[in-house]
Each structure stands twice: as C-alpha cells, then as structure tokens.
Chains A and B, each alone.
Chain A
Amino acid sequence: MQKTLWRYFALYRSFFSHNLKNEMIYRANFVINIGLDIFFTLVNVIFFAILYGNIETVGGWTFHQTLIIVGSVGIIRELAYLTFRKGFLELGEYVRTGNFDVMLTAPMNTAAHLAFRHVSLTESLGEGLMGLILVGYGFAHLDAATWISIPFYLLMLINSLVMYYGFCLMVSSLVFWLIKSQELNTMIYYFMNTARYPRDIYHGLGKVFFTFLIPSSLIATTPATILTGKVDADLIALSVLVAIGLLTLGLFTWTKSLNHYGSASS
C-alpha cells in the first residue's frame, strides 16, 4: 500500500514536470490564461461589491465573508487543475480518436493516468492566486478570524476536492457512451460557477438539488464557514458524507464505463 502510494507520487512528479515543460513552450498562451483569470475574478468581486453596496448580508453572509467563498472556488479550481481536471476535459478526444487505448495498456491505474497526463499548473493559476488574495483579504477583515481555523479550512478544501473529483468521474463516465464531451464539460463548468454563492441562499428542493445531485452548494461554502467562524458540525458531516458518496459512485460508474469501452470500441 505504502509502496504503491510512493510509486504514484513519483509518477505524479514525473508527469507534472513533463506537463510544465509542455506548457512553457506556449508562453503567450500562459500569459493570456493568467490575464483572463484575473479579469474574470475581478468581475466577480465587482459584482458582489455592487450587490453589497445596497444590502448588508446575503443569506447571512457579509461582503468579506462572501469574498472567502469566491476565493475558495478559485483555490479549489487551481487544485483541481493541479491534480485531475484537465484530463477529463481531454477524455472525449481520447475516446473519439482511440488514443485512449494507450492508457488501457500501460501498467498504471487508468483514472490516475488520465488525470496525471494533463496536470496543469498554469491553466487556472490566475484564478488560484486571486483566490488566495481574496481569502486572505476577507480573512483579514473578519472580527471572528482565528489562526487555529486555517488547518481545518485546508482539510475541508481537500474534502471539496474529493467531492469535485467524484462528480467529474461520474459525469465523465458518460463520455464512453456519448463520445462527445463538450456538453458535459460545460455542465461541470457551470456547476463550479454556482459554487460561489453561499449555500444559505437555497431553500427547499433547490437546496436538495444543489447538495446531493450537484454538490455545488457545499463545495466552497463548507470550507468558508470554518474561516468565517460559522462552524456547523452538521454541515461538515454532510460535506464529508457527500464527498465519500460521490467518490464511491464516481469510481463505480468509471469502472463500468471502462468495461463498456472494452466491449464497444473498435
């Protein structure tokens, strides 16, 4: 077990350095990516600044508290690109061209292979850095801020990453049936975009929908509650359970889909 873990850690390092070399070839692309990321994050901040210019709180969240949610989305996105996200974006192309075959013959876990093959530092770096700044800025302006909450915040970020991964696995499994993945990826993108609104704005059926079916109300709000002193044990327990549930479901559908590919591709 430990040996396997070390092997995959070493593999990640190897893939990461290859991807970085690959990204550095396209410098202009790199600069444009970061510029766009910063621009769109600022647009988001301005939107909330205008909103909070007229009202005190949204669902009980103040401006600075909301910045932490928005920032957390950026951090989670960057973490996802650093680990698995881009591989899923490319999956449709792999399946369509049949290059996915190579991943099935290599002596490593296929899901890990797909994820590592496209780990990207720069794809979402601007958003990640802006996220860090926003979280820091919001945190500095909170009265309830305590340093002790930071490690717990990081833990919940990882939990959100697991949730996100499980969701991506589950949705991307459909690629093997649909072959085209553009629409699925757009769907995942919008799912992440709705994560920047506080969970408390949802009620009734909407809340259920954005908790269990698409967990976007948990993904950024739960970590943010910890930094903002809104800690709620029930919410944390719910988030952990949803993360475990989605990961299990995701792995299950993924395995089923690989078997389907094995019997259907030519």
Chain B
Amino acid sequence: MTAIEVKSLNKTFKTHKKEVGLKGSFKGLFHRETLYKEAVKSVSFSLEEGELVGFLGPNGAGKTTLLKMLSGILYPTSGQAQVLGFTPWERNRDYQRQFAIVMGQKNQLWWDLPPSESFLLNRDIYGVNHKTFRQTLDEMIELLDLKELLDIPVRQLSLGQRMKCELVASLLHQPRVLFLDEPTIGLDVISQEKIRSFIKEYNQNKKTTVLLTSHYMQDVEQLCKRVLVINHGGIVYDGSLSSLSNRYIDHKVIKVRFAETQSPTAPSNMKGIVEWDEHHAVLKIQKKEVAQVTHKLLGDFPIEDLSVEEVEVEEVIRRIFEESPREK
C-alpha cells in the first residue's frame, strides 16, 4: 500500500531584500524589493507503507520545507500530496493522530518538568488509552535505556538524552508515518548510533513508514535502502545507495604498501597514480581495469599489502552536490 504520494509539489517563499547597513535598513522601511525563492521545485515521489527512506541534501536544499508540507505546517504553492489518504495541509485531526514529526532543532518537551510529565500530556492530547500508553512507553524505555532519565527535569538532560525523550514523546501514539528532520544533529557518535539503531528497530517492528532527513552520511547509509537526493529544491536521484555509487562513480581506489623501500619518483608506465612515495602508493583506477592493474602491481613491485576499495558514499554525494548547477 502506498503511504505517501507526492505529485509535482512546489513551494516558493517570498522574502524581502535588505541592503547592508543602517542606511539599507532605513530604505527598507519605505521601499522593499521582493525576492522569490523556490525552496521546492516540482518534486514527485511515492513511498510504500513500512519503507524507511532517507532524504539527503546539503543545508538549504529544501528537505525541511518538504517535511513541513507533508506535516501540514506549510501550504504548498502548487502541487499535490497524499499521506495515508489525507491531504496534509488540511490539518485533519484523523491525520494528525496518525503521524509524527520530530525536528532535531526544536523542542516540544516541557523545559522545567521531567520528561515523564510531557509523555502524560501527549497521551491526553493524542487520546491514547492508558493501558496502551503504559505498554508503548515501557517498550521504548527499555529500547532506549531511559529509566534513569524519567524524573530529571528536561533542562538538566544532555542533548542526546533529550533527543531520545523527544522521540519517545512523538511515538507514544504509535504513528503510522514518522518524519524525522535531522534527528542526530549535534549529537556525539555514541548517541547518534543509539538513535539510529532505535529508528531501525522501530521501523522493522512496527512497520512504520519513516522519512528521514539528514546531512550525516552515516544516518542514511546505515538506515535506508532507498535514498532521495535533493539539491536546490529538486530531486536529483531516487534509488538505492549502492546503485548510486555505480551510477556516479566509475573507479575504485587501490592502496599499496611496499615490502622494500622504492624510488620516491613514480614510475612513468603506471597510470592513475594519486600518491607515491618510498613506502606507499594510492591509485585511482577505472573499474574494468582494476584486475589488470593489480596484476601488474603485484608482478612489478615487492608488495606487502594491497587493498581495493570502493569510493566512499560521502564522496559520491559530494560529487552530486557539486555537479548540480547552482542557480541564482
């Protein structure tokens, strides 16, 4: 079943240009030049129920704007979207009871109260019955290891701890669709890992449809089979991560450590040399030539260690972002 269906969605923001300095501010009081920024440009995609899909893009690419439209916070300029059969920006209560959005940079917990109080309030707002609430909460406390945090005021929690609690607060009503806007932003490596594994497990157990944005590569790499790469408001790639590398990258990297000291000058009959010194060498080789070059290396030099590596996905993404034409 299709959970999310987006058809040629557009969002244009109207802003006013302000000239630099006090004089500019003063001028702005009387005459302002209006600027239009196309944050989302004819985006179309669809998600099956239970899918976990990553939105990948640099800052300002339009990821958050898209999620906000799908949550009904923003109206689109044009286009259509259906989530669970609802048009999000109609803000239907039945829709609101079935989805959740977690924004890594916003806070919905009561600052001075322990998180358990915010959980109780959300139970009432979403009309979750007490027994289900208890079960869901216990489950998540177990998964996220929250037991000790429940009675500490939110303001005294670390960012990572707070993020876990934000997640719990948003999942108490067991949403069928979950939007995560940079859930790991600003967290240390361990907290990131914990949140990631939680999202993965939650998605597998509950069959919740998850749409996640991040500019941390690891988030998407570990969680999502399918990625939507978005840049300058448009989707530039929709597919699996592995075929993303195949499509954009046609080479592999060969790394070599020599058993004996070599001449520091690179031999002229080897191609694709990136680095070369007395002890190491790094070569960038077309995929179809890898076997041949490896064979030649092993034959010509005393090799202690040799590895053939895929180009990192991060590198792939960087390429895509750099390739897409930047617009004025």
Contacts A99-B106, A101-B106, A102-B108 given; indicate if A262 touches B117 (C-beta within 8 A).
no
Does B39 make an interface contact (CB < 8 A)?
A: yes
A residues 14-70 in Cβ contact with B at 8 Å: 14-15, 18, 21-22, 25-26
**How far in angstroms is the closest Cβ of chain B from A116?**
10
Q: Are B125 and A11 in contact (CB under 8 A)?
A: yes
Contacts A18-B110, A22-B112 given; indicate if A266 touches B39 (C-beta within 8 A).
yes
Binds B, one of A105-113, A171-179, A216-224, A242-250: A105-113
Contacts A14-B121, A98-B106 given; indicate if A266 touches B65 (C-beta within 8 A).
yes
Q: Mark A105-134, 1 if CB is under 8 A from B, else 0.
A: 111100000000000000000000000000
Does A241 make an interface contact (CB < 8 A)?
A: no
With A14-B121, A105-B71 already in contact, 5 other A-B pairs whose C-beta atoms are closer than 8 Å: A14-B120, A98-B106, A105-B99, A266-B39, A266-B64
Does B58 make an interface contact (CB < 8 A)?
A: no
Does A264 make an interface contact (CB < 8 A)?
A: yes
Which chain B residues lie closer than 8 Å to A11 at the CB level?
124-125
The bracket for how many chain A residues form the interface is: 20 to 34
**How far in angstroms is the closest Cβ of chain B from A144?**
47
Q: Which residues of A contact B (CB under 8 A)?
A: 7, 10-11, 14-15, 18, 21-22, 25-26, 97-99, 101-102, 104-108, 259, 262-266
Which chain B residues lie closer than 8 Å to A21 at the CB level?
113, 117
Q: Which residues of B contact A (CB under 8 A)?
A: 13-14, 39, 64-65, 68, 71-75, 77, 89, 91, 93-94, 96-97, 99-101, 103, 106-108, 110, 112-113, 117, 120-121, 124-127, 153
Contacts A18-B117, A101-B106 given; indicate if A259 touches B124 (C-beta within 8 A).
no
Which chain B residues lie closer than 8 Å to A108 at the CB level?
93, 125
**How far in angstroms is the closest Cβ of chain B from A23?**
9
- Name the residue on B nearest A99 (C-beta): B106
Q: Is the interface of A mostly helix, strand, loop or mixed?
A: helix
Name 23 interchain pairs, CB-CB below 8 A, sorted by A: A14-B121, A14-B124, A18-B110, A18-B117, A18-B121, A22-B110, A22-B112, A25-B112, A99-B106, A101-B68, A101-B101, A104-B72, A104-B91, A105-B71, A106-B125, A107-B94, A107-B96, A108-B93, A262-B74, A263-B75, A263-B77, A264-B14, A266-B64
User: How long is the Cα–Cα vector from A262 to B89 in the complex, in angstroms?
Assistant: 8
Q: Are B39 and A105 in contact (CB under 8 A)?
A: no
- Name the residue on B nearest A108 (C-beta): B125
**How far in angstroms is the closest Cβ of chain B from A155?**
30
Q: Are A10 and B124 in contact (CB under 8 A)?
A: yes
Which chain A residues lie closer than 8 Å to B106 at the CB level?
97-99, 101-102
Q: Are A263 and B74 in contact (CB under 8 A)?
A: yes
Q: Are B93 and A107 in contact (CB under 8 A)?
A: yes
Q: Are A101 and B125 in contact (CB under 8 A)?
A: no
Which chain A residues lie closer than 8 Å to B93 at the CB level?
107-108
- Name the residue on B nearest A113 (C-beta): B125
**How far in angstroms is the closest Cβ of chain A from B121?**
6
Which chain B residues lie closer than 8 Å to A266 at the CB level?
13, 39, 64-65
**How far in angstroms is the closest Cβ of chain A from B22?**
19
User: How long is the Cα–Cα vector from A22 to B117 in the complex, in angstroms?
Assistant: 10
- Name the residue on B nearest A23 (C-beta): B112
Contacts A11-B125, A18-B117, A262-B89 given; indicate if A105 touches B110 (C-beta within 8 A).
no
**How far in angstroms is the closest Cβ of chain B from A26?**
8
**How far in angstroms is the closest Cβ of chain A from B170?**
10
- Name the residue on A nearest B12 (C-beta): A263
Cβ 8 A contact of B73, one of A7, A22, A26, A265: A265
User: How long is the Cα–Cα vector from A102 to B102 in the complex, in angstroms?
Assistant: 9
**How far in angstroms is the closest Cβ of chain A from B106?**
6
User: How long is the Cα–Cα vector from A26 to B89 in the complex, in angstroms?
Assistant: 39
Which chain B residues lie closer than 8 Å to A22 at the CB level?
110, 112-113
Ranked 7 nearest A-B pairs via Cβ? A107-B96, A14-B124, A107-B93, A262-B75, A102-B108, A263-B75, A107-B97
User: How long is the Cα–Cα vector from A18 to B64 in the complex, in angstroms?
Assistant: 31
Q: Which of B73, B93, B94, B101 has the most CB of A within 10 A?
A: B73
- Name the residue on B nearest A25 (C-beta): B112
Cβ 8 A contact of A262, one of B65, B73, B94, B153: B73
- Name the residue on B nearest A19 (C-beta): B110
Which chain B residues lie closer than 8 Å to A97 at the CB level?
106
